[in-house]
C-alpha cells in the first residue's frame, strides 16, 4: 500500500489535533459540572473525554501505519464556563456537528486523492459521528423537556452517572 500523500498526512494530523481538542473540551465541561456538584453530568463528559482520546489515538496509529509522520500541534484552550447544563450540551451538540463536517471533508479529500484505505478508515468515524450527535441531542432534548424542574435535573444526573467507557474495537 502506498504511503500517505502530503495533503492527506497534513489533514489527518489536523484531525488528530481536533480530536485532542475535543477531549480537552469535554474534560473542561466535566470540570465545570464537578464545580456545580453535578457528578453524573461530569461522569458523562469524562467518558466523552476518554472516547475522544481513543479517537485521537486511532488517527495517531493510522498515520504511523501508513508511513506518515505524526506532528503534534498546540491544543487550543477550551471554554471553562457555561450558563447552564443545557448550554453545555447545546455546545456539545454544536461541537459534534462541527466534527462531523471535518470528518466528511476528510472523506471527500480521501476520495479526491484516490486513497481508498483512508476512505475505508474514515468510515468508522462517519458512523461514530451519527452516534455522537444522537447522544448529545438526546440530553439536550431531555434538558429542554424538564425546563426548570430541579427534580428532573437530579434524575438526569443520576442517569448520566451510569455511562461507562467502552474502548473502540481496534
Mean pLDDT of 134-163: 94
Q: Is residue 111 part of a domain?
A: yes
| Each residue's pLDDT tens digit, 43-95 | 999 999 999 999 999 999 999 999 999 999 999 999 999 999 999 999 999 99
Whole-number pLDDT of residue 1: 64
CA separation for the pair 168, 97 (Å, rounded): 20
Q: What is the 3-state secondary structure (H, E, C) of 29-97?
A: HHHHHHHCCCHHHHHHHHHHHHHHHHHHHHHHHHHHHCCCCCCCCCCCCCCCCCCCHHHHHHHHHHHHH
Q: How far is CA 7 from CA 21, 57, 161, in A?
A: 21, 20, 41
Which band of pLDDT confidence, cut at 50, 70 and 90, is reported for residue 170?
low
Q: Is residue 166 part of a domain?
A: no
Q: Is residue 18 part of a domain?
A: yes
Q: Is residue 99 part of a domain?
A: yes
2 or 76, which is more confident = 76
pTM of the model: 0.95
Whole-number pLDDT of residue 150: 82
Which CATH number is 46's domain given? 1.20.1260.10
How many of the other CB atoms lie within 10 Å of CB of 25? Answer: 22
Domain enclosing residue 130, as ranges: 6-160
Q: Is residue 168 part of a domain?
A: no
Q: Is residue 129 part of a domain?
A: yes
Q: Is residue 47 part of a domain?
A: yes
Q: Is residue 165 part of a domain?
A: no
Whole-number pLDDT of residue 148: 84
Q: What is the mean pLDDT of the chain?
A: 96
Domains identified in the chain, total number: 1
Amino acid at each position: 500500500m502506498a504511503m500517505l500523500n502530503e495533503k492527506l498526512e497534513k489533514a489527518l494530523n489536523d484531525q488528530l489535533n481536533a480530536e485532542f481538542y475535543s477531549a480537552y473540551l469535554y474534560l473542561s465541561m466535566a470540570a465545570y459540572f464537578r464545580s456545580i456538584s453535578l457528578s453524573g453530568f461530569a461522569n458523562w463528559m469524562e467518558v466523552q473525554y476518554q472516547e475522544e482520546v481513543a479517537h485521537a489515538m486511532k488517527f495517531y496509529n493510522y498515520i504511523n501505519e501508513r508511513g506518515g509522520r505524526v506532528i503534534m500541534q498546540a491544543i487550543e484552550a477550551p471554554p471553562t464556563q457555561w450558563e447552564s447544563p443545557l448550554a453545555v450540551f447545546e455546545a456539545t451538540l454544536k461541537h459534534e456537528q462541527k466534527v462531523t463536517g471535518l470528518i466528511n471533508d476528510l472523506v471527500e479529500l480521501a476520495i479526491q486523492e484516490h486513497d481508498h484505505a483512508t476512505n475505508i478508515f474514515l468510515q468508522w468515524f462517519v458512523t461514530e459521528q451519527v452516534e455522537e450527535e444522537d447522544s448529545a441531542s438526546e440530553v439536550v432534548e431531555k434538558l429542554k423537556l424538564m425546563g426548570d424542574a430541579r427534580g428532573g435535573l437530579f434524575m438526569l444526573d443520576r442517569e448520566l452517572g451510569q455511562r461507562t467507557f467502552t474502548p473502540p474495537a481496534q
